[in-house]
Amino acid sequence: MANVLGREPPIPRLNKEGRWVVRVKSKTFVEHCERCIAVFLRGFFDSEGCVSTNGQIFVDNTDYALLTHVLYL
């Protein structure tokens, strides 16, 4: 991430469950290349989407700006 974003590497922190966590926010990282866009969309639809019995795909989210960006991607 640090190489792609041209930033200092994020500093990992230990969470309450004893797992190391790194958080990075960046539109640039999501749009780095087609593979990064695909990975982001796959994760977004895995977490926010569902498939109806007739095969239609739905996605729900309360963040209008995020949904607009997903449409753009």
**Pick 37 or 51: Cβ nearer Zn ion:** 37
Give SS3 for 59: strand
Chain positions contacting Zn ion, by CB under 5 A: 32-33, 36
Contact 41, 15 (CB under 8 A): no
CB of 56 to Zn ion, least distance (A): 29
**Pick 32 or 69: Cβ nearer Zn ion:** 32
Contacts of residue 47, Cβ cutoff 8 Å, sequence gap at least 6: none
CB of 6 to Zn ion, least distance (A): 14
